[in-house]
Amino acid sequence: MNGNWTHGCGGVIISNRTVLTAAHCIKDSMDAFKIYFGAVDRTNIFETGQQRLIVKRKNIIVHSEYDPHQRLNDIALIRLPAEILFDEYIQPAKLPDLDKLYDNEIGVASGWGMSDRNSWKPTSNLQYLNVTIFPYEECKPLVQKYKAFHAKFFQHRIFV
């Protein structure tokens, strides 16, 4: 641990012992990470329903073909040292039914991204917005313009 606990990235709970995040969030210079679950206000460490775990770098798997320059395969798995306790504030992601089309349905995107073009500081509160899932055929021509995006993401057929 370097003692500099700062907010970095979000992640998705996929099981009570595993979190999915972006590979660019994992810094080689850090030997441990503090992970918060159920947080909505990143400045309030006493927030109701929040859980925290410290994860050692050796418990994080970054995709073997991650390319930080092109952000290809920008994915990592975090193996937690203890189980997360699921409750009304903390739940794993619900994966979509592979046999169902979600065209024109509403999804929710959330995160602590930057909200000011002139600042790299993330927002204090979790931001979210409703997004429309567009039909695959409608997005296909738009996505083909972006080679890296097209090559690695195109097969999943979900566009917002």
Question: φ, ψ for residue 59 (rounded to 5)?
Answer: -95, 15
- In the chain, which segments carry CATH 2.40.10.10? 12-79
For 12-79, which CATH superfamily applies? Trypsin-like serine proteases (2.40.10.10)
Q: Is the model's pLDDT at 8 over the cut of 80?
A: no
The residue written with tokens 């979900």 in the block is 158
Q: What is the C-alpha separation between 154 and 147, in angstroms, rounded?
A: 10
Average pLDDT, the chain: 82
For the entire predicted model, the pTM comes to 0.76
How do residues 16-68 score in pLDDT, each as one tens digit?
A: 999 999 998 887 777 888 888 988 887 887 788 888 889 998 999 999 999 98
How do residues 76-89 score in pLDDT, each as one tens digit?
A: 999 999 999 999 98
Q: What is the C-alpha separation between 64 and 62, in angstroms, rounded?
A: 6
Written in H, E and C, the secondary structure of 68-87 is: CCCCECCCEEEECCCCCCCC
Amino acid 54 reads I
Q: Residue 147: its pLDDT value, please?
A: 56
Q: Residue 1: its pLDDT value, please?
A: 34
